[in-house]
Chains A and B, each alone.
Chain A
Amino acid sequence: QEARLGYVPIETHPVGKAVERFAELVAEKSDGRLTIDTYCCGTIGNEPQLQSSLQGGFVQLMVGPTSNLVGAVPAFGIFDLPFFYADFDAVDAVMDGPVGDELFNRLEEIGIVGLAYWDNGFRHMTNAVRPIEKLEDIDGLKIRVIPNPLFIETFQAVGANPVPLPYPELYNALESGAVEAQETPVGLTYSDKFYEVTDYLTLTGHVYSPYVLLASKSWFDGLSEEDRAIVEEAAQETEAYQRGLSRDAADHIAHTLLVEEGMEVIELAPEEQEKLRQAVEPVIEKFSGNIGPDLIEQARKDMAAAKSE
């Protein structure tokens, strides 16, 4: 039986490598009964299209960031909340805990099965104007954001001037000075060459939106019980591999590769981090209604438990 898996990053991106591993594991465990054809680089659709194809059942698997799911399942907005996650331990506690499970449960209503949470790294700001070391440095900066109200209001709250733009227009906009700053995980800053058009990287880590490995429910339910188990097992085994790969890569990119490209890399002092956190508190308050206060409460509990361990 053949299945198609689509994703947008390139083959050498941690997502691409993990997809290869996943496909190998599935083939191995099923003795070649199940094969997965992988399509990188958006060749069979961008992320919203892939999601729609998955619901229609003619693409069987995909990997994409959670922010695209918010339109259909608003609770996924929990991963777009600014300064909500202190570190990877906090993130893992939420993704691997009851919140992660509950979010995947809600996907079933729209015909999608969630298989695994993968890493996309924390999002950091880069800009062409000045090194950002404190909250006031952000003031008035024209920053491109994901066209999504949560991102727009977050950056308004810290004093920036957010410009919602489609991602493919970002490089040009930075080059021309139409916007002065951008915020993506360092992997994208490196692979899409934003270091050519911005000079300062501040490790704000303001948002963490994971990648998710998703399956079409109609396809998944049509598999034998044994095969379903194989797919789930392979997804679980790839999870740890992908997160490790992605997080090591992000570290290397931020502290070595981008520095070699001439970027100035700035760590935020803890007290400045705290000031930012306080500035966006009202935004979290405002959007928690959409996401569900219970979920947010649960996430806070899980993060606290992980910290005390």
Chain B
Amino acid sequence: MSAFVFLGSLLGAIGIGMPIAFALMVCAVAMMVSMGNVNAQILAQKLIDGADSYPLMAIPFFLLAGELMNVGGLSQRIVNAAMSLFGHFRGGLGYVVIGTGVLLASLSGSAIADTATLAVMLLPLMRRAGYDVGRSAGLMAATGIIAPVIPPSVGFILLGVTANLSITSLFMAGIVPGLLMAVMLVAAWWWVSARDGTEPLPRRSGREVWHAIRSASWALVMPVIIVGGLKFGVFTPTEAGIIAAAYALFVSLLVYREMGLGDLYAAILSAAKTTSVIMLLVAASMVSAWLITILNLPGQVATLLQPFADSQTLLLLMIVVVVLVIGMVLDFTPAILILIPVLMPVVKSAGIDPVYFGVVFIITSAIGMITPPVGVVLNAVCGVGKVPMEVAVRGLIPFLIAEVAVLLLLILFPAIVTVPGEFLAGR
């Protein structure tokens, strides 16, 4: 019964166009009405406490680092380095996209920012070199969603706080699956571009390659600092965020010298606004999550999923299908915040490793960012690159299949996530 109140009020409020953060509050109020006691303090206290979190302060810091990387010229140099390495292969620009994407993913936690960077810098080049525009745009979208899987990742931070899991463990467990996504994309690109007659770029001289890599090395050191610092426990994820931001600021202001103080103000403001949008969602979801707990919604969902509970694989498949469908229409952040409080208790009681599930869940909902009708990463590519949506979607299909294949692999062989994850996290 309360499951219907929850779903009905939430979907209804979202459906009439209410901002999702407010829809979550309305949904919480609806649950209170169904309990026969509307208490303003539950709304206020849980909302404000929801924003009061030290671990979540990693979000503004990593967002700021990402902003600074873009205005400070770090991203540009990464593209140059990838270009000098892979540009001369057949279909080479595709590999440049994937290589750049992985590097950007290891620097920033934001799929949209990474995808927009890829589209701004590489889509015009691919268009000029005669690549199929839809296919290029599709590849960029599919590459962009690696960002939340490879650390740092705002998605993992949210998931860690919502489900009370170690953010460091989640970060470490995401590395190998994220690289696996890249490998599958390389395979898919190799397969589709084998029949293309595009002209490769001229091979760069050894000197040029060396120069490009050296110039990017300031940016390339950053993932080493972040992952190394977390692996060896030098700092917590929150501290890693502020160190990444400070490092990006240092390189932008003092090494590359492409940024002024006005850019700094704009970058801080933009990071603050984006943080607020994410955090109001987080805070509002804490209100509804509190009522979900009081009304024992996870118990009801567990009963619904009972027929699948005997097989972990079947249960996971079932959940992944549901999340993929929900991901078609719901954004990444709300998907995490709405679904994790309901699903995590069910998953835990079925004996599935919560960190492993977290990785599978993040990849699944990241795929939601490139599936129509609501796909923010797809929107970003089409908007930046002026590509019609249906063209990009058609070009996306092989890469979407590759990434769903990654999901299936992870479900069938959980060790792909757990073994390297536990090794990297040092457990």
Q: Which chain A residue has the least Cβ–Cβ distance from B54?
A: A166
B158 to chain A, nearest CB (A): 16
The answer to whether B41 and A58 touch across the interface, beta carbons within 8 angstroms, is: yes
Q: Does A53 reach chain B (CB closer than 8 Å)?
A: yes
The answer to whether B236 and A58 touch across the interface, beta carbons within 8 angstroms, is: no
A9 to chain B, nearest CB (A): 14
The answer to whether B293 and A172 touch across the interface, beta carbons within 8 angstroms, is: no
The answer to whether A56 and B294 touch across the interface, beta carbons within 8 angstroms, is: no
Q: Does B232 reach chain A (CB closer than 8 Å)?
A: yes
Known: A43-B293, A44-B290, A172-B168. A58 touches B39 (CB 8 A): yes
The answer to whether B233 and A175 touch across the interface, beta carbons within 8 angstroms, is: yes
Q: Which chain A residue has the least Cβ–Cβ distance from B37?
A: A58
Q: Which chain B residue has the least Cβ–Cβ distance from A56?
A: B41
Determine the chain A residues whose CB is within 8 A of the CB of B232 once the complex forms. Answer: 176
Q: Does A169 reach chain B (CB closer than 8 Å)?
A: yes
Within 8 A of B (CB), among A166-217: 166, 168-169, 172-173, 175-178
- A-B pairs, top 5 by smallest CB distance, nearest first, are A176-B233, A56-B41, A175-B233, A58-B39, A43-B293
Determine the chain B residues whose CB is within 8 A of the CB of A52 once the complex forms. Answer: 45, 49
The answer to whether B233 and A49 touch across the interface, beta carbons within 8 angstroms, is: no
Q: How far is the CA of A58 from the CA of B49 in the complex (A)?
A: 15
Sorting the interface of chain B by its residue count into under 10, 10 to 19, 20 to 34 or 35 or more gives: 10 to 19
The answer to whether B233 and A44 touch across the interface, beta carbons within 8 angstroms, is: no
Q: Does A118 reach chain B (CB closer than 8 Å)?
A: no
The answer to whether B233 and A39 touch across the interface, beta carbons within 8 angstroms, is: no
6 new A-B contacts at CB < 8 Å, known A58-B39, A166-B54 = A42-B164, A52-B45, A53-B41, A168-B55, A172-B166, A175-B233
B226 to chain A, nearest CB (A): 15
A164 to chain B, nearest CB (A): 12
The answer to whether B49 and A49 touch across the interface, beta carbons within 8 angstroms, is: yes
Q: How far is the CA of A16 from the CA of B164 in the complex (A)?
A: 19
Determine the chain B residues whose CB is within 8 A of the CB of A39 once the complex forms. Answer: 293
Q: How far is the CA of A120 from the CA of B293 in the complex (A)?
A: 27
Between A42, A52, A173, A176, the greatest number of chain B beta carbons within 10 A of the residue's beta carbon is seen for A176
Q: Does B234 reach chain A (CB closer than 8 Å)?
A: yes
Q: Which chain B residue has the least Cβ–Cβ distance from A175?
A: B233
The answer to whether A169 and B41 touch across the interface, beta carbons within 8 angstroms, is: no
Q: Which chain B residue has the least Cβ–Cβ distance from A53?
A: B45
A192 to chain B, nearest CB (A): 12
Q: Does A277 reach chain B (CB closer than 8 Å)?
A: no
Q: How far is the CA of A166 from the CA of B238 in the complex (A)?
A: 13
The answer to whether A45 and B49 touch across the interface, beta carbons within 8 angstroms, is: yes
